[in-house]
Amino acid sequence: MDEQAETLREVEHELTALLRRGRAVSWEVAREVHPNLEPNAYGLLLWLRRYESVRLTDLAARLGIGKGTLSRQIRALEALGLVRRAPDPSDRRASQLSLTEEGQQRFDAARAARLGHIRRVLESWPAHDVAEFGRLLARFNDAWS
């Protein structure tokens, strides 16, 4: 077996372990935001927190999911009082999505706990390794899409 193939297998193994842990953490963090929140909805809240206000179609394109699927997920977040949908002033057919004040507060509290865990995991790493890790993860994610 050549060295590159073995290296790729190791990357796949570590990525699988990371994703498995990520799913478990997503369940925990979702419950911290709201007891009835689906785990995959944390990622939606993360994007809404980043953009503050975004069109549903733009968010669907960024996430690579269909508008219908996203709309169903957003309706569930609206029902929990975490997200609001408002008419887009530039296009009445579209809507702008944003976190409610409660959604923002709950998300920020859960995110602080998650960042604290990440900080504890990486605290023994040199700062340049943490920066490089972040840079490489961003590069990987950009190439994946």
Helix, coil or strand: residue 36: coil
The residues, ordered by sequence, that sit 6+ positions from 49 with a Cβ below 8 Å of its Cβ are 99, 104, 107, 108, 111
User: For 53-79, how does the pLDDT look when each residue is reduced to its tens digit (9 = 90+)?
Assistant: 999 989 998 888 899 999 999 999 999
What the chain holds in terms of domains, given with CATH numbers, is 3-144 (1.10.10.10)
User: For 107-119, how does the pLDDT look when each residue is reduced to its tens digit (9 = 90+)?
Assistant: 999 999 889 989 9
**Predicted local confidence at residue 1, as pLDDT:** 61
- Nearest partner of 69 among 46, 112, 38, 91, judged by Cα: 38
Given CA atoms 59, 62, 67, 73 in this order, what sign does their dihedral have? Answer: negative
- pTM recorded for the entire structure: 0.76
The number of angstroms, rounded, from the C-alpha of 118 to the middle of its chain's C-alpha atoms is 15
